[in-house]
Amino acid sequence: MTVDLSEICTRLGINPIAPPQLTIGGVNTLELARETDLSFAERSDQAIAVGASHASAVLVPPDFPELPGPILLRVSSPRTGFFAIAELFVSTPEGCGIHPSALIDPQAELGKDVAVGACAVVASGARVGARSILGAGVYLGPEATLGTDCLIEANVTIHRDSMLGDRTIVHSGSVIGSDGFGYVWDGGAHRKVPQLGRVRIESDVEIGCNCCVDRATLGETRIRRGTKIDNLVQIAHNTDIGEHVILVAQSGIAGSSRVGTGAVIAGQVAISDHVSVGNGARIGGQSGVTKDIPAGAEVFGTPARPLADTLRELAALARLPALLKRIRQQERQIEDLTRRLAALEQRAGRRDSPQSAPVIRSGDWVTVTAAPRYLRKRR
């Protein structure tokens, strides 16, 4: 696939750059770009890298210096413009109609230009919006709903009553709408709590590989518009994930917790049940969240605490071995000083004893070498 440079300029909202007949065949980094590629640079100190690049054209900020070599396309945000153009080169699965091995229930509803891959199953009452693509081995359960322009990759399972909005992307191996982890102890055994709710995923959500989003016990487990979820993430029953949240790999959110709009949850974070994470909060990797996090807060550690406090504690912890060594040295010095002081006190006690002091008896003179001369007995 190639795109005319003039079309790229139009999409970026800048005046066409000569030569208009130049075509771009791909996008890449400055170092890896080929002669037909487009690349980008965000800072003036990348001038040497731009000059050495084989790219045909490079997106740069307005104040970037003039250079020989690649064509410089000046835009306000090179990174944003670059990825907008990169979308033109994304290879998406093309609709192939309904594969002969796919199993489509007569009561299912498929929109216009829907593609269903090999061995996929669309159950009774399921609805698939126009131009959506179901990969090989996908299971869409009874009464499940899929919006328009969705991409469901191979071997995804979407259980009964689940609702996915427009332009939702779910990557391979993920499971949407399985039973939540709910049991009650009756004195002799764990009894399963019926999971009667569902999962609702709003538009423009992307879910990575091998994620699990459990249905609600009652009501809904909800993932709101624009949220992006990495691989291997667990979202438990009745959780409510706000808009435009970032959930990084291997995170887990326990039941009935709330995550506010724009929050960022880094890798391997564990959030306890019935916890609320405020809008815009940021949780550092491997943190354990056991209580509510205020809006806009930055927390880290287990249990999660304000980032600045945790970093100071970690810095102090790194100095602990040296501090313990100093303490041991000072303890030895104190012990040595204590022994020396005891010896001095013992010597001082012997000098001050009655046997060594001058003696004067009433009624008699005693010659004592330590006595003054006028007290000494004359012979």
> What tens-digit pLDDT sequence spans the chain (379 residues)?
788 888 899 899 998 776 767 889 999 999 999 999 999 999 999 999 999 999 999 999 999 999 888 999 999 999 999 999 998 887 766 556 899 999 999 999 999 999 999 999 999 999 999 999 999 999 999 999 999 999 999 999 999 999 999 999 999 999 999 999 999 999 999 999 999 999 999 999 999 999 999 999 999 999 999 999 999 999 999 999 999 999 999 999 999 999 999 999 999 999 999 999 999 999 999 999 999 999 999 999 999 999 999 889 888 888 889 999 999 999 999 999 999 999 888 888 777 665 555 555 555 444 444 555 555 555 5
Predicted TM-score (pTM) of the model is 0.77
Which has the closest alpha carbon to 157: 131, 126, 192?
A: 126
For residue 302, count other CB atoms closer than 10 A to its CB.
13
What residues contact residue 201 under an 8 Å CB cut-off, 6+ apart?
Answer: 162, 163, 164, 165, 168, 176, 207, 213, 222, 223
Q: Which of 159, 237, 244, 274 is catalytic?
A: 237
265-to-225, 261, 268, 328 alpha-carbon distances in Å: 16, 12, 9, 42
Tell me how many degrees the CA angle 48-52-57 measures, rounded to the nearest 5.
100
Residue reference for tokens 């008896």: 361
* ω into 303 cis (within 30 of 0): yes
Known catalytic membership, residue 244:
no
Structure letter (DSSP) for residue 139: E
User: What are the structural domains of the chain?
Assistant: 3-89 (3.40.1390.10), 103-311 (2.160.10.10)
Sort strands 252-253 and 234-235 into parallel, antiparallel or unpaired.
parallel
Q: In terms of C-beta distances under 8 Å and separation of at least 24 residues, what long-range contacts does 228-234 make, across chains too?
A: 229/205, 230/267, 231/171, 232/208, 233/207, 233/208
What is the C-alpha to C-alpha distance for residues 83 and 99, in angstroms, rounded to an integer? 33
